Structure formats: C-alpha cells, structure tokens
Amino acid sequence: MIKIGVFGVGHLGKFHLNNWKTMAEVKLVGFYDPSDAAAETAIREYGLQRFKTPEELIEQCDAVDVVSPTPFHFDLCAAAIRKGKHVFVEKPMANTMEEAKTLVSLTREAGIKLQVGHVERFNPALLALKDMKLNPMFIEVHRLAQFNPRGTEVSVILDLMIHDIDIILHLVNSDVRTISANGVAVMTDTPDIANVRIEFHNGCVANLTSSRISMKKMRKMRLFQKDAYIGIDFLEKKTEVIKMQTEKVPGEFSFDIETPNGKRTIAIANPKTKEDNAMHLELQAFIEAIRQNKPSQVDEMDGFRSMEVAHQILQKIQRNQPVV
Ligand SMILES: NC(=O)c1ccc[n+]([C@@H]2O[C@H](COP(=O)([O-])OP(=O)(O)OC[C@H]3O[C@@H](n4cnc5c(N)ncnc54)[C@H](O)[C@@H]3O)[C@@H](O)[C@H]2O)c1
C-alpha cells in the first residue's frame, strides 16, 4: 500500500482525489490546503483528514501529490524530496528555471520518483498511436480555451502551451535550434495568446498557437511526416491517420491514386485504445513507477525541458513587445 498526501484540494486536486480513491494499492492519508473553504469541501465530500502543516503530512506519507498553484510547487516538492518521499507535481513543475534545476538535482540525489502532470501524454488520442513510427517534419498545434481566472498566475505558455511543448519534445527526436514567438497580454499581465515557431536540428518545424481568451475550445495537433498525416484531437479524444503506402492492406479503408512516382495506396484509419481516463492512467503510472522501481514516464528532466523551452518562448515574446 502506498500512502499518499494531497497538497491543494482545489479544482484539479478534487479530480486527483476521485482517482486516488479508486486505486486499491493507494491509501489516502489526508491533505494540506491553507484555504478553509477548500478544506471544508474536501472533509465533507471525501471524509479526509486535514493536516495543519505541510511537514506533518509529509511525515506520514510515502508519496506526495502537489496540486497547489504553481508558485508553491517548489517549496512543497523540495520539502518532500528532502524527506525521501516520491513526488507527483502538477505542471509546470516549478515557477522559475532555478527552482526546476534544484528539483532535478534534489530528485537525483534522493533517488526518488518524480512525475510531472503532463496529462496529455496519457490522452487516448495520443496513446492510440503507440504502435506507429512517428517522425514528424512539420507540426501544427492549436490549443484554445475560454477565459478562466484559474491558472492565470502564469502565462498561457506555462498554463496551456506547455502541454504541447512536452509532447513535441517527446515526439521529435532532435534538439531545438531556434524559436520565434510573439504573444499578447489581453486580460492579464502575462501573454494570454501566443504564436510560436520552433525549429529543430533535424529540420522539423512546429507551429503552436495557444489562447486562453478564445470563444471556443480546441485542442488539436497535426503531424506531417514522409508517409503520413496524423491528426490528434485531444478534446474529442479522436485520432486520424492518412497514410501513403505501396499496396492495400486487408481490412483497411483505402483507395489508389496516380502520383508522379506511380500508383500509390492512400489508407485512412482511426486508431483507438480501450483506455479513456488520462488522469487515472497518469496517476497509475506514477504508482507503478514506485512499486516496480522503474523510470517515471514523465520524469524530472521532461518537466525541466518543457519549462526551459517555455521560458525561452517567454523571453522571445518579451523582446518582441512594441516600445510605447
Ligand atoms: N495538468 C493539467 O491539465 C492541469 C489543469 C489545471 C491545473 N493544473 C495545475 O494544477 C495546479 C492547481 O490548479 P487548480 O486549477 O486546481 O487551482 P485551484 O486554485 O482551483 O486550486 C489550488 C488549491 O491549492 C490551494 N493552495 C494554495 N496554496 C497552497 C499551499 N501552499 N499548499 C497547498 N495547497 C495550497 C488553494 O487554496 C486551492 O484550494 C496548478 O499548478 C495548475 O497549473 C494542471
């Protein structure tokens, strides 16, 4: 049995509690949240013990789940790691690069498992592609959300775009060469909408647009590679693969076209997985990493790299601001 303590029982923390409750190998020890209103709801709805200080809760746990606002991630994670506890921390893993760097070294020194909450890695629309060889050369992403004051303590880059940055760094097997970016702060003091172009050393180019002031929601990633177009709809949890191949495969929907290089077969498929609860899968993956002493699926370096690119983007945006 792995004893878990939850730090922050706000909007996302409650979703985490719902998932932890269903796992037979997890015992929920209690929670820490400085807000009396949030605490009252957690006590009433989940019958959980409220701890007065983070230290008291850390003491009682094998692993902590940090779902507080981002500015508090570092102190809570560092305190837990220093006591040798495993850490699940929501994205972005920390507020500054200095903090993220320190968390990486502390994690390595302590030899604990740290997983960052890049939940889209576990989205069924992406998992449906696990048997396909992905080697994108051009990526187009739109992640648009309606305005919500929650999460606005950080820019749209660290709030929303970081999900796509993490996935792209995971898919593209090459280092970042250059970044161009611009963004506008409309409703808050940091960029609420941004457009970014990331070029990789292997020639791949990714264009990302993120907005938290949109009229409608959209979370789509389109990958283009030598032999295929792949559409991933994270919101609808749907995947489309349009592949060019030399011959028909029985059972696949396909048609033939003439190309300058001769006849080719275009096959269209909508791969699926049985799984559909991304959050459950990510929290379960954390537990399995601890139980089986295997690497975290989204580890401290993944969290660090996505933050590093996000901060480079923010610096580019700052430099591009008009002088008034
Ligand atoms: N993975 C995702 O898709 C996703 C989605 C939403 C939010 N998040 C992340 O989750 C975190 C929480 O977001 P939220 O939407 O639940 O915010 P929220 O404001 O609804 O909840 C945060 C809770 O943390 C509590 N809190 C404040 N200071 C604390 C401290 N020092 N220790 C413990 N708890 C503290 C607050 O009282 C509140 O109840 C943020 O880091 C955010 O970026 C991730």
Rounded Cα distance between 304 and 99, Å, is: 10
Of the candidate CATH numbers 3.40.640.10, 1.10.10.10, 3.20.20.120, 3.40.50.720, the domain formed by 2-112 belongs to 3.40.50.720
Say if CB 179 and CB 164 are below 8 A apart: no
Helix axes 73-82, 97-110, angle to 10 degrees: 20
What residue ranges of the chain are covered by domains with CATH 3.30.360.10? Answer: 122-275+310-319
Q: Is the pLDDT of residue 278 over 80?
A: yes
Instruction: Name the average pLDDT for the chain.
Output: 95
CB of 91 shorter than 6 A to ligand 1 = yes
Q: What burial letters (b/e) apply to 1-34, b meaning 16+ CB within 10 Å?
A: ebebbbbbbbebbbebbebbeeeeebebbbbbbe
Rounded to the nearest angstrom, the distance between the alpha carbon of 7 and the centre of ligand 1 is 9
Q: Which of 22, 39, 31, 28 minimizes the C-alpha distance to 4?
A: 28
Rounded Cα distance between 24 and 272, Å, is: 27
C-alpha distances (whole Å) from 51 to each of 15, 42, 256 are: 19, 12, 65
Rounded Cα distance between 57 and 127, Å, is: 34
CB of 150 shorter than 6 A to ligand 1 = yes
CB of 164 shorter than 6 A to ligand 1 = no
C-alpha distances (whole Å) from 295 to each of 5, 219, 290 are: 21, 28, 9
- Between 13 and 253, the more confident residue is 13
Q: 85-115: per-residue pLDDT in tens?
A: 999 999 999 999 999 999 999 999 999 999 9
The radius of gyration of the chain from alpha carbons, rounded to an integer in Å, stands at 21
Q: 36-53: per-residue pLDDT in tens?
A: 999 999 999 999 999 999
Of the candidate CATH numbers 3.40.50.620, 3.40.50.720, 3.30.360.10, 3.40.50.150, the domain formed by 122-275+310-319 belongs to 3.30.360.10
Q: Is the pLDDT of residue 262 over 90?
A: no
Say if CB 227 and CB 135 are below 8 A apart: no
CB of 155 shorter than 6 A to ligand 1 = no
Look up residue 239 and give its two tokens: 């995947």
pLDDT band at 324 (very low <50, low <70, confident <90, very high): low
Q: 202-219: per-residue pLDDT in tens?
A: 999 999 999 999 999 999
pLDDT band at 261 (very low <50, low <70, confident <90, very high): confident
Question: Ligand 1 test: best mutation among 6, 45, 68, most atoms within 8 Å of CB?
Answer: 68
Mean pLDDT of 67-80: 97
Own/partner pairs for 18-22, CB < 8 Å, 24+ apart?
Answer: 19/277, 19/279, 19/280, 19/283, 20/65, 20/283, 21/46, 22/280
H or E stretch at 41: helix 36-46
Say if CB 239 and CB 270 are below 8 A apart: yes
Task: Report pLDDT for 196.
Answer: 98
Say if CB 174 and CB 204 are below 8 A apart: yes
What residue ranges of the chain are covered by domains with CATH 3.40.50.720? Answer: 2-112
C-alpha distances (whole Å) from 76 to each of 17, 158, 212 are: 18, 19, 27
Mean pLDDT of 148-169: 94
CB of 67 shorter than 6 A to ligand 1 = yes
- Which amino acid, residue 135? N
Task: Report pLDDT for 275.
Answer: 80
